[in-house]
Amino acid sequence: MSSGADCTFYEPRPGEWYLSLQQWPYGENPGYDLYGPFASFDRAYDYLNDNFQNPGAFCTFDFNKDRMITEEAYQKMKADAKPPKEPNDYLSYRRRY
C-alpha cells in the first residue's frame, strides 16, 4: 500500500540527483526532507525504495539548461540536503551499476 506522500526527484546539475519527500503526517505537514546528492536517478530511486514506504507516485525534473535554478538556490539546496545513509557510491543490493 502506498503512503500518498508527495515525492519529487530533481537533477539541478547534470549527474546530481536529489530526492524530496513529504514529512508525516501527509497532507497536514507542509515540511519536506531533501536527500542527496545521488549520482543517478536510479540510485536516488533505489534509496527511496530501500529506506521509505512507497509514496505511490512521484515527479521527476531532469536537468534542463533552459530552466536551471540560480547558483544561490542550488547552493541552498545542497546545504539543506541530508546526505544518504550510505556514501554517494551507494550500491543497491538489487542492482549493480
**Per-residue pLDDT tens digits of the chain, which is 97 residues long:** 777 778 899 999 999 999 999 887 766 777 888 999 999 999 999 999 888 878 878 888 889 888 778 889 889 988 999 888 754 444 444 444 4
Cis geometry, peptide bond prior to residue 37 (ω within 30 degrees of 0)? yes
Kindly state whether residue 88 falls inside one of the protein's structural domains. no
Question: Would residue 92 count as lying in a domain?
Answer: no
Q: Is residue 29 part of a domain?
A: yes
- For residue 45, is it within any domain? yes
Q: 41: domain range? A: 7-80
The pTM (predicted TM-score) of the whole model is: 0.76
Burial environment of residue 6 by CB neighbours within 10 A (0 to 12, 13 to 18, 19 or more) = middle
Q: What angle do CA 16, 18, 59 make, to 5 degrees?
A: 115
In a domain, 53, yes or no: yes
Q: Give the residues across from 60 on adjacent strands.
A: 9
- Per the structure, the count of domains in the chain is 1
**Residue 89 domain-assigned (yes or no):** no
Residue 95 lies in a domain: no
